[in-house]
Structures are given as structure tokens and as C-alpha cells.
Structure 1
Amino acid sequence: MTTQFWKKSRKINVTLTNLLHLVFSKITGFCQPSFFMDQSWWLSRKRLLQSLCLISFVAVLLLHTSAPIVAQLPPQPRQEIRGVWLSGNDFSVFRNRSKVQAAMSQLRQLNFNTVYPVVWNDGYTHYPSAIMQKMGIPFFFKGIDGQDVIADIISQARSQGLLAIPWFEFGFMVPLTSELASQHPDWLTQKQDGTQTSISAAGEVAWLNPFHPEVQKLITELVMEVITRYNADGIQLDDHTSLPVDFGYDKYTINLYTQETGNPPPPNPQAQAWKKWRADKITAFMVDLYQTVKAQKPNAIFSISPVDSDYAYKVQMQDWLNWVRLGIVDELVMQVYRNDLDSFIGQITRPEILETQKIIPTGIGILAGLRNRPVSLSQIQPQVQAAQQRGLGIGFFYYESLWDIAPEEVAQRQSAFAALFKKPALRDISQNTPRQPTFDTISLPLYPKPSLGKRVRGYFLEVAVANGQPKRILLDTGSAGLRVPKEFLGNAPIRRTGQNIKEVLSDGTILEGELVYTNVRFGLLPATEPVPIQVVTSRQCTPQKPKCSAKSGVPFSGIIGVNYFEKSLPYNPLRKLPGNLSNGFIVTVNGGNNKNGSLILGLTAENQAGFKTASWSQQSEISGVPGNRWDSRLSKVCLTIAGSAAKNSCNSRMIVDTATINGLAEFKTAATAGKLKPGVLSSANAVKIAINGVFDYNLTPGTREGFNRWSLSVSPQAELPIFVNSGIAFFDKYDVLFDPVNGKQGFRSL
């Protein structure tokens, strides 16, 4: 009986709550002065309306606080995009302050909520840029009173409750005749035949090299100048933040590709690996740009306006769907300029649109007309309705074609647009909070060669530190913490601690350097927050191992230690991956020498199939180390070495270590080793390592490129009676899984 009463009570309260919320929303709509055209009428009734607003608010508040069970309101829908681009064609209108004011007022009355004023095209800024001024590039776009037109648009838009998101229209595209192209010919890229231009909607254009650090620096500085100068609500990058697939055969890019891959670019620009390498470089730049913008203004909207993802990737190497999945896009407005309605609907129901609109505000760019190509309402209206029926927002290209350049009369056009957006839908950037990537799992490539020096065997992960150039750093499953030379650091902010730390590697190398915090990108994937890093400034050998790697003359190429047996800071940086990607990883190296492998981030039911697991021991917490900490040296490991007393001794501990070329067995006493003497084992000393029911590994020691060498040592000061480091050869026969949530390690035979 009581339960039934509370259920009925809850239903009544939900109904009343919804009713009062409806009343409240209607009344508060009248509480906005912009609702009324007659301001004197508003002032005379202001007190009465304020009282009604207060009564409505109190009624809702009392109902919520007195209800036995508080009814939860449904989550707010994503903010609907109702935008218009203010293009270079509109500049004659917006040079006039009074016309800017009238335009923003008109858009607000017609229930638009966003404007995208162009700030970058043709190699010039539409605002007085200090950066371009330093480069000696002229500025042409003052208002008729000498005013900053972009400042005026943003100010007037805000006064009407519109978002103003400056639009970097040309991206990496630039006219060959512009001052920028003339001053910096080395910043331009080219086709294989040396051609520097292509034909676009803007005519014949050249392309700034998106892989060149000076080009990336320029675009980043211009974006940040707009964000800081105008406190803009965000920025938008369109389909020209890309590169036509035929380009990339300039000297700088050829050298970079050859350095990173060991081969020159293939003559076929459509070759998959070559195209992906270039697309990934553009994506990496976008990740860095996003992080830079968010560091300055966390709730700024990072907007993109591309074309469909198939064309964007295949023709322009713009992998924008991956940008969305990486969590670096806050808003999408996909350009769909079609005359035929069926073709239009086919575009707005593409899988990438259906996926994206579940994650972020998503709109469709609709052509309202061009100077030489007016578009009728009979084409515009059904396209808008088709988008709205599918929960999509709208962006019109461009302002002047809304009604000034059109086949219908101005009044008819404005009346029609008023009917398209019948109710206000204001936007608020305070709700634009950073989000996590939508990947449950992602695979990053592991390379057999480092960025610096040489190494017989190893697997290297591409890592960018402090927005520096990506470097291939040794993946070490046997240690914890990211350690890099200072040369690897970029120009992003770094928090210094002043704490000098020391790490002793298994080969006797001592690494010393300061502990700092800064952003890190693993492949294309950024960490969620700054990561602790040892910036190595000194390398030397221990007295016991005077021939360590520090004496080899090989430059230090960095180490990314991903073990969970952390003794102090820094800790495994993979702990700072977003969402499910931080719950563990799998190392798979495709079973062979000099082959690429994979680091699979994020454990799922699917990618754990076929693994047999062994447990780790829980360790006490360390201040500053997030998550669970484990002793990931496996227990109850059976070790047999032919010719020794260590036959089927199952009291060994073991670690699997990608950073150790040679396998190693360490005995606390000589008696345990039997007749074997410390040193390199021969082929007669076959090694077997096993955990019952989990894995059964064997190896014949040899010298094949050093990878299957096996050493034995006797160390009375050793912590454990028998300790085994299986070395990198183990990964030629097993995929290895690390599960820090459940404290397990998995093995899957190849």
C-alpha cells in the first residue's frame, strides 16, 4: 500500500513539475526585454513581470523540495546550431557599423544563434594582426570609420545573444601571388612534378606545407591571437585545413618521411601508407592546436566544417571523423551543397553524421546562394526541414545570400527564414566541457627503429612531449615512467618541480634529470592531463657495469616505461589516458624480427579473447601515483636451464621486458645455479620458463642478432632467490596483456 502511494505521488509530482516548468519557461521568455519590440511597453510592465517570474520560480522550487521522491528532469538536448557564415563577400556590408548592428539584430529576431565571421583567407587576416604585421604583410580590411570589423561583429553578436565563432576559411590554402607565399617559398609544398598549385573553388591556389613546423606555428599563433584578442566563443576550421593528396613532394616532407620510415615517398600519391602518414600528421597538428586553445580557454568551441568524410580523406587527407573520435571536436557543420533533395538526404544520413550527432552538436551547411548562382526558397526550405527532422542543426552559406542576393523579395525571404526557426534556441558555451575520446580501444603502431641512435632489437612508440615533434621512444614493459632528453621537448607549457631524480637501468646506465609535468601525445592520442616526465640531462655507468649504454656513444632516444610496479615518480604515463583506454593494454609484435608491432590500448571482452592470465600482487599506494599499484613480477614461475641445478624450480619470479634484448636469470646463491657459472649461456643450456596452464616458453640461447642471448648472474644482494627477465624474444612467441584494474597479466601464444 505504501509503495503504491509513493509511486502515485511521484507520478503526480512529475506531471505538476513538468507543467510548472512549462509555465515557468513561458513566463521567463516574457522576462527577456529582447522579446518585445516596444521598449517603453517593457519598462512599464517590468515590475509585474518580475513578480510573475519570481512566483513561478518559487512554485517550482517548493514542489521540488517538498516532493517525497524528487523527479529527475530529462537531460537537456544538445544545443541546436542555427548559424550563418559571414564571408569575404559580405565584407562590404560589415564595414559599416550600423549595418553590423542591424544584421545581428535581424538574425536574433529570426532565431539564429551563431555567426561565423571569416578572419583568415587569401593569405591575409580580416583583423589587424600583430603577427602578420611583424611579417610585414599588409592589412586591407578596416571598417569605413577605421574600426576593427571583427571586434565590431563579435561585440554586436554578443549584445544580441549570438555566439561569434571566427572562421579560418583558407586553412593551409594560400594564393601563390600573396605576400605570405612570396616571402616564404620554403613553406609551400608541391606535387611530384614540381607543380605548386591546384584549382579550387577560390581559383588557383598554392598550399602551405601542413607538416612544416613554421607553418604550424603560424596557424597556431593566428588562432590563439583571435582567441585572446577577442575572447572569441571558439574558432572554426573548414575543409581547407587539409592537403590535396597529390601534394607532399617538397624537399622538407620527403626528408621527414624518409627519416621516419627509412624509405622515400612512393611515386603514387594514393599509396595507403604514404597517404595515412600525411593524414596522421595533419591530425597530430589538430590535436596540438586543440590542446593549445583549451589551455587558454577551456570552454571555447573547437568547430570544424568539412565535407563528407570519404571525400575529405581520399582527396584532401582530412581524417575528420578520427578527430571527432579523438575528442578534439566540439561542433561539426558538414557542408552539403546539393541541388537535388534526394542527394542532399543521402549525405545527411551518412554513417559519420549518425555517429557524430550522438556525441556533439552537429549541423549541416546549406547553400543559401552565390553572387552568380541565387538559390530559391523551394530548394532551401525542404533541405532545412529534412535536416531538422533528423535532429540536425543548420549553417547557411553565406549571409548576403540569405535575402539580399536571392530570386525572391527580401520580405518574402525573411518571412520564410522566420518560419524555419519558429522558437528561440540560444547557445551557451559554459556547457561546452572537454570530453573523452569515444574509443573503447585503439591500436597504436610500434616501430622496430628509434628516432635516434641504433638498437639491435626493440619496439618504439611514437610520442610527442610538450607539443614537440613526435619521436620514437623505446617501449619498456619492465620499468615505469617517461624519460626523454630535453631535445624532445616542444614549446608547450611545462611545470617544473626542481626535483632531480635518478633511475638505474638493468644494463647499469644511470639516468639523472629533473621531474617535470607537461602534456604528452601517444601517437595521435593525447593524455587527459599533464604527465610526470624525467628530463634526462646526465647519463653515466655504475661502477659494477662500466660498459653500459651510456659509454656506447649512442644518443639517448628516450624510454616510456609502462610497468605498474612503480617505486616512485614518474609513474606509467598510460595511467593518464582517457576513459576505457587507461584500463590496460596489450603488446603484440607480430612474432618476428624487424617487423612493426602494435600497442593495443583499452581492454575489452573482444580483445582479451584467447589470453590466459596470471595474477600480480597488490602493492601499497604511493602518493602522487593514480590508480592501483601492483608488483607485476609474476610468482610461481618454473625455470629450467639445461646443465644446471635449476630444474623445474617453481619458486621463481619473472618479468616480461620489451626493453631487454638478452634474457637473464639471476640467482641469489651460487648453490642454486649449480655447476653453471655466471655469464652468457650456450646452446647446450636450453631455457624453459612456464606457469602451469598459462604459458610454456622455451628458447635455445644463441647469437642471432643478439636477441636470443641468455645470461646468468649470481647476486648475493639480490632481493629474490631466483629472478627471471625473459627479454624481448618472449614477445616473438606471445602477445602479452597488462590489466592494472584486476591485477593480472595475460599471455596468448602466436
Structure 2
Amino acid sequence: MQFSFIYRLSRLIKRSLLILFALSFATVLLLNHLTPVAAQISPSPQEEIRGVWLTNNDFDILSDRAKLQNTITELRRLNFNTIYPLVWNDGYTKYPSAVARRAGIPFYFKGKEGQDIIADIVNQARSQGVLAIPWFEFGFMAPLTSELAANHPDWLTQKQDGTQTSISAAGEVAWLNPFHPEVQQFITDLVLEIITQYNADGIQFDDHMSLPVDFGYDKYTINLYTQETGSPPPPNPHAQAWKQWRADKITAFMMQLNRAVKARKPNAIFSVSPNYYDFAYKYQLQDWLNWVRLGVVDELIVQLYRNDLDSFNSKLTSPEIIETQQLIPTGVGIMTGLRNRPVSIQQIQSQVRAAQQRGLGVTFFYYESLWDYGQEPVAQRQAGFQEIFPNPVVRDTSQVIARKPSFNSISVPLYTKGSVGQRGRGYFMEVSVAGGQPKRVLIDTNSAGLRVPPAFLGNAPINRTGQIIKEVLSDGTVLEGELAYTIMQIGLIPTDEPIPVQIVTSRQCLPQKPNCSAKSGGAFSGIIGVNYGEAVLPYNPLRKLPGNLSSGLIISGNGGGKNNGNLILGLTANNREGFSMVPLSQQPGINDIPGNRWNSQLNGVCLTIAGTAVKNACNSIMVADTGVINAATELQSAALMGKLKPGRLRPENAVKVTIPGIFDYSVKPGNRDGFNVWSVNINPKAENPVVLNPGIGFFDKYDVLFDPVNGQQGFRSRR
């Protein structure tokens, strides 16, 4: 947390007073300049945060039972409702910790009577109706001279030049590697120890649950990044992909940590107190807005330590704060003074009232400065707090429930190559199955269900049914394997619950289609079928994405080039703009398949093939299929084909496929990496006179929207 060095002034002030004050001042000046949004949010007094941090400077009070009781009584009388006692800083715990001992940390702070300070705080606060949320202040920070750093040098990360420390508001510190599994386990064990040992109301992390952007050039992280991306980290620490990769790794850990905390105590408050967002992400790799959107954070307090009221007010209406307070209790951190820099009660009151007018709570930094450092008498300052908190507000942790991700829509890349079993062409998206590493699987809009080889599975729970199922793909490939249930994850977003997955252990070609994709015997790249016309299990796994993300999808191709396409998950009014819609026919529901089923075959499609008898035949049906490289036309009779022979079309047989007012697609047949390969064949058993599958080439010219809620497909030209 900013100004956290103040906690240690009692032992540092004699030798570093000027340096520390200069550092604190510099920290205050690191301000954000986001464009403010004019908005007023109605206050929510039932959830209003009225808190104060209890720091190292308050240790004389915390270690004395009688003083602590008087402190909590006084805060309760002044209608505060939350305290945040320090439990982890400087490489030490403020409680007896078995986890710390195992890491070689022999020392912890205890009370004057030898009592467990944190147990005393939690018990006394609970008895007086005040929430006690232990504050995990140092996060991934630790002094380089600490036992933790000395005993576990491989846990530390570094800058590109090998430097292991940075100068922060807490002095010179080293940084634990947030990407190292042993570091993650150590932090998790400490946090769970606090939640379990004290039945605390929650846990709070601040701006040190992060990593300065210059760090991450240690051997472990370099190897991990290279393994996952195929290239070493760039020398520029601000390179976007490198920055995002590290931020996402920290986000993924916070998601795991949240799940672990909630498994121990479902209504524990997972609180975060970061810097303003633009600074936190750019310079600390702390993507806390994403944490909020992913449902990780139950309470947010943004540090806004400044004297200028206009600057303070401008931050209250930042888009990030406005978005967050629609979802969870939100507040701001307000400075109430330092030992050599008092803050007037008038300034404190004006900032609190500005926050309250916008529906925001407040937390003060820190307890001893509430009324001991002011120029006004103690009684006057306490009366000032009574004025801003005239009535009691009790916080109820029973209302803390797990939240689903709040994204209305997300965009993920579609790659042209898979992880294994390379095809000549295709669209692949990355998914993680059962906690495994992200793998690129073929996205197929003409089949349903996730089908992966066993090697794609991780160590997360898998419910194996023992049921062997088969799936026949359009090219004649037969996939065989067990039906199981497990979690699938796209990026950082997991499905709401385990989904059915076919674990493919065998691939063969149908006798009548001996040249199917299984002919080569190469590795299976996996398939994610996203069609909404399921006939049997497994169903489209996108049905089980949280919230609005399950409402549909949009596929945008890459125009036949080498760049990635995009898959948009979650339909909104904005991303539906410009699409021409075609209604689909509804199919009967099937047990175990959620949502509505739709026949995705488009009727009344017009086909013209130059130089043939097929002239504007508008009795055709069409499927928009990303799972097929080469386009195909199936004719019911030879008469429809005329003199054209079955097989590949030639360049002179230009193809035109239209639905009037919807799309007008034309292509010159050829052999450009499958992009414009077209073939025709005769099938007397076909249910319709003409069946078209324009393949992935169609998606290079049109964005295609799939709406499973309303039963529609949409098309929008990209050229």
C-alpha cells in the first residue's frame, strides 16, 4: 500500500527521515489522468464501507488488550463498521504461523501478554459488531535481507539487468515471483491459514499483490513464457503481449486464491485496495478491473491519497470505479494524516462527503492519524467523524455470495494453426480442459461438443462416465472415445459447471470416404463444435459460459491472410449492429441438452455456377461451416448438374451464393491453400435438391453471428 513505509517510522525515522518523506511525497504524485465520466450513483447505505487500516504505527494499541478494546469501542461509537488489521509485512506475520515456520521464518509479532494479536482483534471486533478483515499488506514483497528471501532465493524474480530489488514506498524490497508455483502455494497457504485459524470476516490485498513491470526476467519466468509463446520475453518490459501475459498470470492466480478462500469460507470478503487502474495495470501488472469483472473481488477500495479536492473528485467518477460500484461495495482510501503532515478535519470531511454523494464508502489511512496527528483537538476531530457518520451502518457478510463474471462480451483470437495435427487451413481457438495448458482446437460451426485427445487434459477433477460414444464428421472421420464431464476454460473464464467432453482415443475413416482427415494417422488437434442443433451428447460447451457470454457468438475470419481472426462471445446491441438476420427453425428439446435447439441449415439460398446448368437455383440449403476447408456442393440429380462432371470446379466455373438482402458471396474456384477450392458431387439420397457448404472461405468475407436465444443467424460483409 502507498505510504506503507510509515508503518516502520518508529524504527527508521532517526536514520532515514528525509529520504522516507521524499519517497512518500513522490508516491503521492503518481496520479492517474483518466477522462472523468459525468455520473451520479445513489448511495447504498446498507453496504457503505466505513473502515480504517490498523498499521505497524498502531502496534502499541494492537498489542495491548485494554487499549484495543477501547479503540474498537471508540470506532463503533463513531459508527465505523470495518477494521483492516495488518497480518503480513516485512517478511513476518503478526500471528503464530505454521506456514511461515515451514518457510524458515522463525519470528512473529505477539501481544504484551504473549497473546495472539490477530485472534484478539477478530474476537473483540466481532463482539462489538465490527468487521475485521485482515490486511495482507506486503503481498509478493519481501525485504532482500529477510529469512524468506535468504532461504528461498529461487522464489525471487528480477529485472532484465539482474537487479533483484526496487525502491518503493516501503523502502528497498525484493519481489517474490508470482508465476512460480511454490510462491503461489506459500501465499495461498498463508491466506488460508488466516481464514481458517481465525474465522476472519475476509482478507484484504493491496497494491503489493502485484509485480513492478520491470520484473519477470528470472530464469523460471523466461522459460515459462518461451514455452507458452514460442519466443523469449522482449527486452522492453512494456511490450504489450509480454505485459498482458504477466498480468493475466497474476489474474489467474488471484482466481485460484479466491476459489481456495471461498472453499474454506464461502462468505469471506475478498477485498482489494489497489492504486488507480491505469497506474496499477501499466506499472504494477495489477489488472484489478479484470479481477472485478471475473467475480474475484467482493469489495474494492481505491487509494486516493491527495490534498486537492478537484483532483480527488475527478477520480471518483472514473469509468472503472463507476463500473465496479454497480457490482460490489466500493470505496476510496483517504489519507487522514502523517506524523509530520497533518490533514485537517475539514479536508477529511469534504472528501468523505464527495465520496458519499457518489455512493462510495471510505477507508482511512491509518488509525493513529484519525485524531492524534491533527492540528485540531481530539474532541473536535472525533466530532467531525461523528458528523460524516451520523448513523450506524452494519455490514452483513451473509450477503456475500459468489459472483459470476460480469462481462457482457469478450473477444478471443482465432488462430490459423492448431497445437498439433496441423491442417492446411482452419480456425482454431485456445481452450483449457480439466485445468490443462491452453491448447488450440478446431472451431466447428457444423457440429456440437468438445472432443479432445487425452493429452489435452489437466489435473482438475474429471467425472468419467465409462460411456463410449462415436462422432462422424462431414469428411468421413469417425471419432471414438469416452464421454466425461469436466470444466473448460476460455482465457480466464471457466464454464459455470462441468460440461460433457469426448475424450477421443480412436480415429478412423468411413469406408466410403477413405481420404478423411484421419488417413494420415497424425495427431488429433481437437474440435470444439459450437452448433446449436445438437442431436446427442456432448452439446455445445459455449452454452455453459457464465452470464451473457452464453447468449451467442460472432466469428470473424482473417480475410484469407496470415493474421488471426476473432471469436466474439456474448451478443450485445452494439456488436449486433450491421448484421442482416435470417430466422432458423426450432427443433425439439432433448434431455441433458440445455437451451433451445435450432436447425442451422439456411433455406432459400440461391446458387449459380458459371458455365453450368445451375443458374440461380434458389431452392438450395446452406450451412455456414468453419470445420470444412474445401467448399462443397451436393446435387440430388445429374439433371441439375447438366454437362458438368462431378469433381473440382475450374476457375471458369465462378460460384455465386446469395440470399437476397442478406449476403452476396462469390468466388473463383482455384487451389489457394483451400481458400477457394470448390467441388461438386451427385447424391441421389440427398434430402434437398442442392446442399451447399462454402467452408471457411465464406468466413473470410463475412462475419457470421449465431444467436441461440432467438434462433437467428446473422451476416455482415467485411469487404
| CA shift in 2, pair 1:226/1:558, >3 Å | farther
Q: Partner residue of 1:299? A: 267
How far, CA to CA, are the matches of 2:95 and 2:650 in structure 1? 73
Q: Partner residue of 1:110? A: 78
Q: Partner residue of 1:658? A: 626
Of the three residues 53, 59, 71, the one matched with 1:85 is 53
Alpha-carbon displacement from aligned partner over 1:348-376 (angstroms, at most 9, x marks no partner): 34343333333321111112334565545
Normalised to the residue count of structure 2, the TM-score between the two structures is 0.84
Q: Partner residue of 2:309? A: 341
Q: Partner residue of 2:24? A: none
Which of the pair has the greater relative contact order for Cα pairs under 8 Å at 6+ separation? 2
Q: Partner residue of 1:44? A: none
| CA shift in 2, pair 1:688/1:429, >3 Å | same
Aligned-residue RMSD, C-alpha: 3.3
Q: Partner residue of 1:15? A: none
Deviation at 1:222, TM superposition (A): 3.6
Q: Partner residue of 1:692? A: 660
How far, CA to CA, are the matches of 2:258 and 2:457 in structure 1? 18
1:321 has 2:289 as partner = yes
1:619 has 2:587 as partner = yes
| CA shift in 2, pair 1:288/1:460, >3 Å | farther
Deviation at 1:490, TM superposition (A): 4.5
Q: Partner residue of 1:195? A: 163
Q: Report the 3-state secondary structure (helix = DSSP H, G, I; strand = E; otherwise coil) of the residue aligned with 2:289.
A: helix
How far, CA to CA, are the matches of 1:560 and 1:572 in structure 2? 8
Of the three residues 325, 328, 331, the one matched with 1:360 is 328
Deviation at 1:532, TM superposition (A): 0.7
Q: Partner residue of 1:533? A: 500
How far, CA to CA, are the matches of 1:733 and 1:654 in structure 2? 16
Tell me if the contact between 2:48 and 2:360 (Cα under 8 Å) persists in the aligned partners.
yes
1:456 has 2:424 as partner = yes
Of the three residues 444, 447, 458, the one matched with 1:476 is 444
Alpha-carbon displacement from aligned partner over 1:481-500 (angstroms, at most 9, x marks no partner): 23334444455555554544
Q: Report the 3-state secondary structure (helix = DSSP H, G, I; strand = E; otherwise coil) of the residue aligned with 1:115.
A: strand
Tell me if the contact between 1:736 and 1:745 (Cα under 8 Å) persists in the aligned partners.
yes
| CA shift in 2, pair 1:285/1:714, >3 Å | farther
Alpha-carbon displacement from aligned partner over 1:38-86 (angstroms, at most 9, x marks no partner): xxxxxxxxxxxxxxxxxxxxxxxxxxxxxxxxxxxx9975510011122
Structure 2, unmatched stretches of 5+, are 1-41
Alpha-carbon displacement from aligned partner over 1:211-264 (angstroms, at most 9, x marks no partner): 344444443444344334433322222112222222233344444444554544
Tell me if the contact between 1:495 and 1:518 (Cα under 8 Å) persists in the aligned partners.
yes
Tell me if the contact between 2:436 and 2:456 (Cα under 8 Å) persists in the aligned partners.
yes
Q: Which amino acid aligns with 1:539?
A: S
The 5 A counterparts of 1:361-376 are: 361-370=329-338, 373-376=341-344
Q: Which moved more, 1:582-591 or 1:468-477?
A: 468-477
Deviation at 1:721, TM superposition (A): 5.2
How far, CA to CA, are the matches of 2:355 and 2:284 in structure 1? 26
Q: Partner residue of 1:152? A: 120
Q: Which amino acid aligns with 1:328?
A: V
| CA shift in 2, pair 1:491/1:91, >3 Å | farther
Q: Partner residue of 1:66? A: none
| CA shift in 2, pair 1:661/1:258, >3 Å | farther
Q: Which amino acid aligns with 2:320?
A: E
The 5 A counterparts of 1:638-653 are: 638-641=606-609, 646-653=614-621
| CA shift in 2, pair 1:654/1:605, >3 Å | same
Alpha-carbon displacement from aligned partner over 1:102-160 (angstroms, at most 9, x marks no partner): 33333222211112223333344444444444444435234455544333322222221
Q: Report the 3-state secondary structure (helix = DSSP H, G, I; strand = E; otherwise coil) of the residue aligned with 1:342.
A: helix
Alpha-carbon displacement from aligned partner over 1:631-660 (angstroms, at most 9, x marks no partner): 112222334445666554433332222232
Q: Which moved more, 1:706-715 or 1:657-666?
A: 706-715
Alpha-carbon displacement from aligned partner over 1:154-199 (angstroms, at most 9, x marks no partner): 2222221122222222222233333443444444332222222211
Q: Partner residue of 1:308? A: 276
Tell me if the contact between 1:85 and 1:116 (Cα under 8 Å) persists in the aligned partners.
yes
Tell me if the contact between 1:652 and 1:721 (Cα under 8 Å) persists in the aligned partners.
yes
The 5 A counterparts of 1:47-446 are: 77-370=45-338, 373-403=341-371, 411-446=379-414
How far, CA to CA, are the matches of 2:452 and 2:185 in structure 1? 23
Tell me if the contact between 2:304 and 2:332 (Cα under 8 Å) persists in the aligned partners.
yes
Deviation at 1:690, TM superposition (A): 2.5
Q: Which moved more, 1:406-415 or 1:218-227?
A: 406-415
Q: Which amino acid aligns with 1:270?
A: H
How far, CA to CA, are the matches of 1:491 and 1:209 in structure 2? 23
| CA shift in 2, pair 1:232/1:714, >3 Å | farther
| CA shift in 2, pair 1:408/1:215, >3 Å | same
Of the three residues 548, 560, 565, the one matched with 1:597 is 565
Q: Partner residue of 1:727? A: 695
State percent identity of aligned pairs: 68
Deviation at 1:333, TM superposition (A): 0.6
Q: Report the 3-state secondary structure (helix = DSSP H, G, I; strand = E; otherwise coil) of the residue aligned with 2:673.
A: helix
Tell me if the contact between 2:434 and 2:461 (Cα under 8 Å) persists in the aligned partners.
yes
The 5 A counterparts of 1:673-688 are: 679-688=647-656
Of the three residues 491, 503, 508, the one matched with 1:523 is 491
Alpha-carbon displacement from aligned partner over 1:521-560 (angstroms, at most 9, x marks no partner): 3224444x21413152513213425565456465444332
Q: Which moved more, 1:127-136 or 1:357-366?
A: 127-136
Deviation at 1:630, TM superposition (A): 0.4
Q: Report the 3-state secondary structure (helix = DSSP H, G, I; strand = E; otherwise coil) of the residue aligned with 1:705.
A: coil
Alpha-carbon displacement from aligned partner over 1:681-705 (angstroms, at most 9, x marks no partner): 4445443333233222233333322
Deviation at 1:587, TM superposition (A): 0.9
1:563 has 2:531 as partner = yes
Q: Which moved more, 1:156-165 or 1:575-584?
A: 575-584
Q: Partner residue of 1:586? A: 554
How far, CA to CA, are the matches of 1:539 and 1:188 in structure 2? 45
How far, CA to CA, are the matches of 1:495 and 1:222 in structure 2? 31
| CA shift in 2, pair 1:554/1:406, >3 Å | farther
Q: Partner residue of 2:597? A: 629
How far, CA to CA, are the matches of 2:88 and 2:418 in structure 1? 38
Structure 1, unmatched stretches of 5+, are 1-73
Q: Report the 3-state secondary structure (helix = DSSP H, G, I; strand = E; otherwise coil) of the residue aligned with 2:47.
A: coil
Deviation at 1:201, TM superposition (A): 1.1
How far, CA to CA, are the matches of 2:312 and 2:541 in structure 1? 45
